[in-house]
Amino acid sequence: MILGVDTGGTFTDFVYWDGVQLHIHKVLSTPEAPERAILQGMRALGVPLEGLTVVHGSTVATNAVLEEKGVHTLYITNHGFADLLTIGRQARDELYNLQPVPVPPPVPKEDCLEAEGRISAEGELIEPLTESGLECLRREIMLRNPQAVAINLLFSFMQSAPEKEIEAIIPEEIFVSRSSKVLPEYREYERGIATWLNSYVGPLVDGYLQRLAEGCPGAQVSVMQSSGSTIAASQAGEDAVHMLLSGPAGGLAAARYVGDQVGRSKLLTFDMGGTSTDVALIDGEVRLTSEGKIGRYPVAVPMVDMHTIGAGGGSIARVDTGGMLQVGPESAGASPGPACYGQGGVEVTVTDANLLLGRLLPDAFLGGGMSLQLNAAEKAMRAVATALNSSVEEAAEGVIRVANEHMSHALRVISVERGIDPRDFTLASFGGAGGLHVCALAESLGMKQAMIPVHGGVLSALGMLVAPRGRELSRSKIILLEQMDDVVVVAELEEIAQQGVEALVEEGVKRSQIEPLYSVDLRYRGQSFTLNLEWQGSVESVRAFHQAHQSRYGHSFDFPVELVNLRVNVREKREATHHFLQPQQKEQRKSPPREILLTGMGSVPVYQREQMLEGECFTGPALITEQVSTSLISPGWYGCVDSTGTLLLERGLPGY
């Protein structure tokens, strides 16, 4: 028995496998205490706790960083570098603003401590720690009474002993992170931020996971990591920085899984929820990046390569002082939510616009579990329509067009701006609101294929079930590839992999079911940034790097190629994943689709997705309703139901 849970800004989604079939459910989120919504949903589903595995995506770490509500954390570094996190990269958000608003530093000056233990760039100890220095540092720590400490000494990735000595003097009740464990890579600023973030949110994550575990005794609790693999809750608190993209990573894990089932390995995905939309690209595997950001902070730990914008079903529409219609990034959230939810919301949202255009059925929302109020949506939209000097319907259409343009631009960022032609991919939509926009977005990118996965409204929760248990490990090693022996590289990769293998074995994964994937970060000598490529030996890796650089940037050089980081992805083998998508029934009784009027499209059929047969085909325009989402198939599109229940869409007649 496995329960997948995705905690979002508006809804908390559940997918439960009871050993025979899947059950899905949604409840409104409780952001102030996320575990409350999880336990509420478990009770509603009647999930037995004994023998249950709970895998969930948590927003606790993300929200704490975005809202700057982490714990009191001290930052310890070498003498002369206390201002490291404050100075950062000296980058400005507004390049030409001569009077920028001061931004508070990540760690206040009085909480930045300096210590001995200096390592040289060659990895040699040039300033050892002394007993008197350690005692002075210990007194400084006790005087400030922190909840957490982050240790980031220079070149700690080359020698970790000084950081371990400092860690040993810190009382056990204080949460400690050291950079040589969190991110043993070069770039002291990025390494320092990752280490600080790990301590800043670590106690919150640890406390939350303990409360969740106490609420479901007898169950085994795991957490989705930002890299798309899962980790046992008992180990997750120590690695909180790896959970900053916990929920969205689940959606990509599920999209890749469904793509495998239907034979679509090249996917451009967009996950449209109530608060935001996440877009990503999958080419056989989910792409990872070590150059992600959360709020204003760089996060150099591996995470899914994703672009997020503030455009979701709950995004608020308004007319600005210049008379222009704006949509987002502000969201109505779970409370009060869109006006049509009838919970006191008075500002119009994308969900209200879809309802007013007939694309959402008031009596079919959440499978009939929640009734939408058309009058409230119309009242909220009327204020926007008056400001635009238009009808309510025209204003609603405008809201949808603006929201679509925001999402279309985001999809271009992740594809066209990286030298990738989106027309070679299938657009995969999921999230509660994704199906209503998939055809319009595909058309805006010139794409001819799209798919709406089965259970697309809770796909991120499904991803919790299918994501492998795994670890992402790395180590900096800066050297020209032509000077490097392949045998030495492989030996170091295997040494790194062994750490991940032991961690997975401790979680209960059999050694025979574990596979390591090796990759390297490469750059031309003199460059600052790298490209990550599969390790194929030095000769083949250099050739692949030249090709990747040409594809990404439009040019390549005849310069020496430098190795920067070794990376290892250790995970369960894919064949170990259970097949949760059951074949559709080929024959069953069903009623003919009813007809409704849609603004601008006339009379269209409404299909109940649960009643659609394997191989059944249809043409747009059509509306497809299901328990957790609604999909709009636009005119000019043709669709068929795959054997797993996934809707495969094609623009134009099939075969053309």
Q: What is the mean pLDDT of the chain?
A: 87
What pLDDT does residue 651 have? 92
Which tokens hold the place of 177? 């992170």
- The CATH architecture to which 2-66+205-247 belongs is 2-Layer Sandwich (3.30)
pLDDT of residue 653: 62
- Domain(s) labelled CATH 3.30.420.40 in the chain stretch across 2-66+205-247
Determine what percent of the chain is predicted with pLDDT higher than 90. 42
CA dihedral 82, 83, 85, 87 (to 10 degrees): -160
- Which range among 215-229, 488-502, 568-582 shows the weakest confidence by mean pLDDT? 568-582
Q: Which two tokens stand for residue 84?
A: 């490291």
- Containing H/E element for 607? strand 602-608
How far apart are the C-alpha atoms of 289 and 526, rounded to whole Å?
21
For residue 651, give the DSSP letter: E
Do residues 385 and 395 lie in contact, with contact meaning Cβ atoms separated by under 8 Å? Answer: yes
pLDDT tier, 565 (very low <50, low <70, confident <90, very high otherwise) = very high
> Among 303-307, 391-395, 547-551, 608-612, whose mean pLDDT is lowest?
608-612
Beta bridge partners of 565: 476, 521
Instruction: Dump pLDDT digits (tens) for 354-367.
Output: 999 988 888 766 65
Is the pLDDT at 654 greater than 80? The verdict is no
User: Which single residue is written with the structure tokens 């100075």?
Assistant: 87
| N residues, the chain | 656
User: What does residue 2 show for φ and ψ, rounded to 5 degrees?
Assistant: -130, 135
pLDDT of residue 296: 85
Say how many CA atoms lie within 13 Å of 296 toward its Cβ: 15
pLDDT of residue 381: 92
User: In the prediction, which pLDDT does 368 show?
Assistant: 58
Report pLDDT for 144. Answer: 93
Question: What confidence score (pLDDT) does residue 591 get?
Answer: 62
Take residue 647 and report the two structure tokens written for it: 């809707």
173: Cβ contacts below 8 Å, ≥ 6 apart:
none
Task: Give the model's confidence band at 80: pLDDT under 50 very low, under 70 low, under 90 confident, else very high.
Answer: very high
The kind and range of the H/E element at 452 are strand 449-452
| pLDDT tier, 579 (very low <50, low <70, confident <90, very high otherwise) | low
Instruction: Encode pLDDT of 32-48 as tens digits.
Output: 788 888 888 888 888 88
Q: Is 259 exposed, middle or buried (0-12, 13-18, 19+ CB in 10 A)?
A: buried
CA–CA distance, 477 with 362 (Å, rounded to integer): 59
Instruction: For residue 217, name the pLDDT band (cuts at 50, 70, 90).
Output: confident
Q: Please name every residue paired with 252 in a beta bridge, in sequence order, or none if there are none.
A: none
What local confidence, expressed as pLDDT, does residue 95 receive?
A: 83
Tens-digit pLDDT profile for residues 582-618: 655 555 545 667 777 777 788 888 888 888 888 888 8
SS3 assignment for 181-222: HHCCCCCHHHHHHHHHHHHHHHHHHHHHHHHHHHHCCCCEEE
Statement: residue 178 has pLDDT above 70: yes
* Per-residue model confidence (pLDDT) at position 655: 46
pLDDT reported for residue 615:
86
The token pair at 506 is: 């401790």
Q: What is the pLDDT of residue 620?
A: 80
Question: How far, in Å, CA of 572 to CA of 116, rounded?
Answer: 41
Q: What is the mean pLDDT of residues 448-465?
A: 88
CB 250 within 8 A of CB 6: yes
pLDDT band at 328 (very low <50, low <70, confident <90, very high): confident
Among 238-247, 292-301, 397-406, the range of highest mean pLDDT: 397-406
The mean pLDDT value for 467-491 works out to: 90
Name which of 60-69, 99-108, 208-217, 401-410 the model is least confident about.
60-69
Q: Look at residues 391, 385, 320, 390 and name the one whose alpha carbon lies nearest to residue 348.
A: 385
Quick one: average pLDDT of 405-425?
Answer: 91
What percentage of the chain reaches a pLDDT higher than 70?
A: 95
CA distances from 353 to 122, 314, 340, 459, 635 (A): 61, 10, 10, 24, 19
* pLDDT tens column, 235-257: 888 888 998 888 788 889 889 98
For residue 23, name the pLDDT band (cuts at 50, 70, 90).
confident
3-class SS string, 313-360: CCEEEEECCCCCEEEEEEECCCCCCCHHHCCCCCCCEHHHHHHHCCCC
